[in-house]
Amino acid sequence: MALAGFGFAALFRRTLLMIIALLLLTVTIPIQVPRYHFPGLWPDSTTSVYCRTNLRTGEVDPSSFVTLANDRADAVTVSELTPEAIQRFYQAGLGAAFPTLF
């Protein structure tokens, strides 16, 4: 974003904005480049697995979904969730592994 801002500031000859964008680039590049190109430098980082699904208006088998989520996911997001599906998922045990519901 800072690079795009620098480009637009240069295009429209806005000196102050070019200086701000250049400072922002100077600060962010040394931070971001090593994280993307040298991931081994950050041993304390962890990988999170998200289970994202479309329930197709509650047509998903709750027990198989809960088994999949419990075995592989750190967080679960769903779409087309009906109140009846919420009850079926809690009865299948989803609330035990993922107690927070938003």
In a domain, 15, yes or no: yes
Question: Hey, what's the torsion of the CAs at 86, 90, 95, 98, to 10 degrees?
Answer: -50
- Average model confidence (pLDDT) for the chain? 83
Assess whether 58 and 89 both reside in one domain. Answer: yes
Token duo for residue 1: 């974003």
Q: In one letter, which amino acid is 54? A: N
CB 46 within 8 A of CB 73: no
Pairing assessment for the beta strands 50-54 and 75-79 based on DSSP bridges: parallel
Q: Which two tokens stand for residue 12?
A: 């429209």
What would the pLDDT profile of 23-64 be if each residue is shown by its tens digit? 988 998 888 888 777 767 766 667 788 888 888 776 788 888
Q: Same domain for 29 and 60? A: no
Q: Is residue 60 assigned to a domain?
A: yes
Structure tokens belonging to residue 91: 């009865």
